[in-house]
Amino acid sequence: MPLTFAKEGEAASIKKVGGKEDTRKFLENLGFVTGANVTVISETSGNLIVNIKDSRVAIGKDMANRIMI
């Protein structure tokens, strides 16, 4: 399921990152790689604030839909 379906405070493991190659590289540089643990901190206006690799990152809903957990 996409990351957008995760509940706040729920930890999940990334199974796959989809999208075009440049999108995947961008997300990979932020730490969104297969096997990484990600926790949704909050959701505001469709954007997600997530905790990944001891960092907080804000991503748009369109990006979050490409990250499968």
Give the CATH number, domain containing residue 48: 2.30.30.90
Query: In this structure, are strands 67-68 and 47-52 parallel, antiparallel, or unpaired?
Result: unpaired
| Structure confidence at residue 44 as a pLDDT band (50, 70, 90) | confident
28 sits in the region (left: phi over 0; alpha: psi -120 to 50; else beta) called alpha
* pLDDT value for 66: 93
Residue 7: give the domain boundaries: 3-68
Count of structural domains, the chain: 1
Residue 50 has pLDDT above 90, yes or no: yes
Residue 42 has pLDDT above 90, yes or no: yes
Which pTM does this prediction carry?
Answer: 0.87
pLDDT average, residue stretch 33-56: 92
* pLDDT value for 45: 84
